Structure formats: structure tokens, C-alpha cells
A and B are shown apart, each in its own frame.
Chain A
Amino acid sequence: MSASPVARELGVAACHACGLVSHLATNDEGLHCPRCHAPLQYRKRNSIHRTWAFLLAAIILYIPANVLPIMRTATFFGAQDDTILSGVVALWQAGSWDLAIIVFVASIVVPVMKIAVLMLLLITVQRGSRWRQRERARLYRIVEFVGHWSMLDVFVVALLVALVHFKTFAEVLPGGGAVAFAAVVVLTMLASQSFDPRLIWDAPESSSPATDPSP
């Protein structure tokens, strides 16, 4: 495969908002797209720092999101607290293994994968790694695509709270875990939006071996 020319090396940039390709002067500051007036940049500004900031906040909140109950079900027979994981187990035991798998993927696999992938991308980019660029680019696109599905459990809690309020018979109340989890999903979405996938391809040409050298 012949190497494609890179926009930044040609002194052109595609507008991130409308896609129009324009010439840029050598400096990165103060230029705007002639068509839609969005700021023109070769790369998203402070991409790595912003992504790390959102990601670290998400990782911290991920702990209460999973430890605290997301809801409490009070029935005639007593009260039960459910965390995200115990909600999946309850669905499984009730015989809805198909929905249990969907909720497990949306609420546990996707957030963990998203955090892990973004950390991997940030670390490899910061080290200037040329390791598996195509695969890493695909990982980023997957993370962007599936990210918002994690909001599933938050909507389930809101709906159950609205539907189940039968005085003494049964009542569902939301827990602090639901708030923390909603915040985690929003923060991971902001993190992935802040990351600039073009940085994956900015690694210097073979100044180091093609594979990532371990220290």
C-alpha cells in the first residue's frame, strides 16, 4: 500500500464541522473555516490532556457506580438493594437470559472496554508507538459507536421508579449508584469525543522499531 499524503504535511486541514478542506497558514491559531466559521485546527486542541481528565474522573466514579445500589425494591416481604451486577444476576435467574446478556454487555462490558481502550490509545499515542495503528483506529471507532448504550440501566431505573409505587405492596426507589453510573457514561462519552484519532497516525517514522519497545 502506497503511503497516502497527510493533510497536515500538505498544509491543508478538513473542517471538523462541515468537512470542507482548506489551506492553513503555518500557525494553528485563530483560523476559521470559510464555509461554517468553525475554528480550523490540524488536531483537536489539548486532546490528550482533556481525554485523560474525563477518563480519570470516569474511573473514580466507576467505583461508587458499581458498589452503591442503583435501586431499592421494597415489597410486602421486605426490601432488596440492587447494584448493576446483581440486577443482571436477577434477570438471569428470572429466566430472561437474553436480556441478562444485553444488560451485562451494555452496563459492564461496554464501560470497562471503553475505559481500557481509551487508556491503551492514550498511552500508545503518548509513547509515539506505531504498533497496530489500523487496529487501534478501529478500536476507537467501535468505542465511539457503542458508548451511549451504557445508559440503558439508568433508563431502566427511572422507568421502574415511575411505574412501581403501590403504597404498601411494592415500591422502587433509585439509589446513588444510578447517579454515579449516569455520570460515568457521560464522562466516558466526553473522553472519547475529546480524543483525536489522528494522533494514532502521527507517530514518527521508524525512529524507533516498528513494534513497541518495552523498557
Chain B
Amino acid sequence: MTAARLTVCEQCDAVYEHRALAPGEIAMCARCGSELYRRRRFSLDTMLALTVAALVVFVLANTSPIVEVELQGTRNAAGLWGAIVAAYDAGVGLVAVVAATTVFFFPLLQLLLLIYVLLPLRQGRTPPGFVWAMHALRHTQPWSMVEVFVLGVLVAVVKLVGLAIVIPGVGLWSFAALTILLTVITSFSLHDLWDIAAEQRA
């Protein structure tokens, strides 16, 4: 028995023989109903293009104000870092740390690591530290919360509408676009990347 041709359900430990799928097909576990694997939807080139696009949007989202608020002739603008620094200065350090890691550092790390892995892979090479980078990717993914932050911006804006004049900024649209791109990027299967790297070495 060659173990490599087997698939084991991560959720319930059921064992299946690996089978090629038609486009759009998803292999589901018969025992617990969770997804086993699906056919690769994106080529390495598409993955790389989406990741680079997301990095550009990420820079834009973090360098322009998300919203501006005007009251009695005074204007305040805030971006993500404004919120992080304000939370820290106001004495709620944990809130600042959570916002900085889940909305800035982990998503940024995710994008940089993916580019680092994808660039050589599409040329048929495995970069040094591939194993380390892939493990780091797996650990950062569940802690990336850009989409939650964007919903938080919407809630904050609605809460402010009665109090002051609220002007949405470029950062808001950039964060919305980043959310969509990150949703696609997070759907890349890391297991597929492991498989591709192994096939190339073989």
C-alpha cells in the first residue's frame, strides 16, 4: 500500500483513495460531511497575480485615511494605524495589539510569504526556507481578520452619522477591495502548494 495515494479526512480520520476530480467537483467525506479536497482552481500564475494585486491594495489601504469626521469645524481623519495608536494611548494595549496583528501584520506576512513561495514555484524551483514559510502561512491564516475590520468600519460610521459629518476616504474602498482579494487568496489550498513542490522535486 502506498500511503501517498491515500487521503485522510482531517475532521474524522476516515481514509479514502485519492481520485482525480472533474472541474468544479469537490470531494466530500462520506462519514462526517466535511470537504476533503477540490480540484485546483487557480494556476500558480493566477495566484501570484492576485497576491501581488492584494499587496498593492494593502499599501493603499494603509496609507490613506479610511474615514474623516467633522464636528464644529474640526476635522479628524483616521486610518488603521490611527485606531491602533489611539487604542494604545487610551490604555487598552491588548486592543491595539489585536488590531495590529490581525489586520496589519498577519495579512501582510501572508501576502509576502505567498509571493516568496509562488515566485520560485512557477519557475519550477523551491525557495530556501520553503518548509518554514509554508508553516508560517498555515499559522497566520486563521488570525487574519481584515474582513471583520471592514465590517467594524461600517458599524463605526453608522454610529457616528448622528453625531458628526462623516466622509468616507480612499482607505475605506481599498480595505473593501482587499477583503475580496484576501477571501480568494485564503481559499488557495496550501496542501496543493505542498503537492506542487513535491511533484517538481520528483
Q: Which residues of A contact B (CB under 8 A)?
A: 1, 4-8, 10, 12-14, 16-23, 35-38, 42, 75, 90-91, 94, 96, 99, 102-103, 106, 133-134, 137-138, 140-141, 148-149, 151-167, 169-170, 173-174, 176, 178-179, 182-183, 186, 189, 193, 197-198, 200-202
Please give the distance in Å from B69's CB to the nearest CB on chain A: 5
Contact, CB under 8 Å: A7 / B149 = no
**Interface size grouping (class) on chain B:** 35 or more
Q: For chain B, residues 180 to 202, give those with C-beta under 8 angstroms from any C-beta of chain A.
A: 190-191, 194-195, 198
Contact, CB under 8 Å: A198 / B13 = yes
**Chain A residues positioned under 8 Å from B10 (CB to CB):** 14, 16, 19
Chain B: interface secondary structure?
Answer: helix
Contact, CB under 8 Å: A148 / B11 = no
Chain A: interface secondary structure?
Answer: helix
Given A158-B95, A163-B160, A169-B72, 6 other A-B residues pairs in contact with their CB atoms under 8 A:
A91-B155, A148-B102, A161-B86, A162-B76, A179-B94, A198-B12
**Chain A residues positioned under 8 Å from B86 (CB to CB):** 158, 161-162, 165
CA of A13 to CA of B6, assembled, Å: 10
Chain B, Cβ-Cβ closest to A23:
B3
Contact, CB under 8 Å: B78 / A201 = no
Whether a CB of chain A sits under 8 angstroms from the CB of B19 is: no
Contact, CB under 8 Å: A158 / B30 = no
**Chain B residues positioned under 8 Å from A91 (CB to CB):** 155, 158-159
CA of A213 to CA of B33, assembled, Å: 26
Q: For chain B, residues 126 to 155, give those with C-beta under 8 angstroms from any C-beta of chain A.
A: 131, 134-135, 138, 142-143, 145, 148-149, 151-155
Whether a CB of chain A sits under 8 angstroms from the CB of B59 is: no
Q: For chain B, residues 76 to 112, give those with C-beta under 8 angstroms from any C-beta of chain A.
A: 76, 78, 82-87, 90-92, 94-96, 98-99, 102-103
Cβ 8 A contact of B160, one of A13, A140, A164: A164
CA of A99 to CA of B72, assembled, Å: 27
Whether a CB of chain A sits under 8 angstroms from the CB of B162 is: yes
